Amino acid sequence: MNLREWMNQNSAVVTIIAVVLLLVSLGVIIMTLTPKQVGRVVDVYFMDTDDGKLFVDKSDQLPPVVAPSGKDGVRAFIFSCSDCGDEASHFVGWLETYTPAAKKAIEAPVEGPEGGMDNYELIENGHMVADPVSKKWVPANSEYGFKIMDMIQNKCGDEAPKPCFPGR
């Protein structure tokens, strides 16, 4: 029995296979043509390292950025123990920046089968945080880096500090 005879005798099976192949093909086409989801860009706070003043920029900007003074601006994580609408209750939890090498590695990821994993350690070690008072920069993934980011938990008593964003 040749293929043509088998297909004629099993037309229901052939129809099911054809429909499944059509649906899979449509799914592949739709997934290929659908744009990738991009993270939402919002306004966030930055601190001018020259004068210590806060300013607003977009969340897709990697620090350091150019501050209004022309000097470096670093990301400032702002919190409140009450309502974020009350700017008098705001406090800086910690500051964040990247070393020049880490920022370059993030902005121009390595192409290839590893997908930039070669730069993972460089980026992790170049992600820096600082206490807003001492402004001493340490790696975010270090023991002291974690302590800096955890210190805000005690600032609001029994309440959890609320993260605040500009205009919200």
Is residue 79 very low, low, confident or very high in pLDDT (cuts 50, 70, 90)? very high
In this prediction the pTM is 0.72
Q: Judge if 60 and 89 occupy the same domain.
A: yes
Reference 54, options 101, 8, 15, 93; nearest CA is 93
> Is the residue at 114 inside a domain?
yes
> For residue 62, what are the domain limits?
43-164
- Over residues 75-96, mean pLDDT: 92
| Structural domain count of the chain | 2
160 and 129 in one domain? yes
Task: State residue 130's pLDDT score.
Answer: 95
- Same domain, yes or no: 22 and 70: no
In whole numbers, what is the pLDDT of the chain averaged over residues?
A: 86
User: What does 100-113 look like in DSSP terms, one character per residue?
Assistant: HHHHHHHHSPPPST
Dump pLDDT digits (tens) for 88-124.
Answer: 889 999 999 999 999 988 887 666 666 556 678 888 8
Residues 19 and 91 in one domain: no
Are residues 47 and 23 part of one domain? no
| More reliable by pLDDT, 40 or 146 | 146
Do residues 84 and 119 share a domain?
A: yes
Q: Does 90 share its domain with 7?
A: no
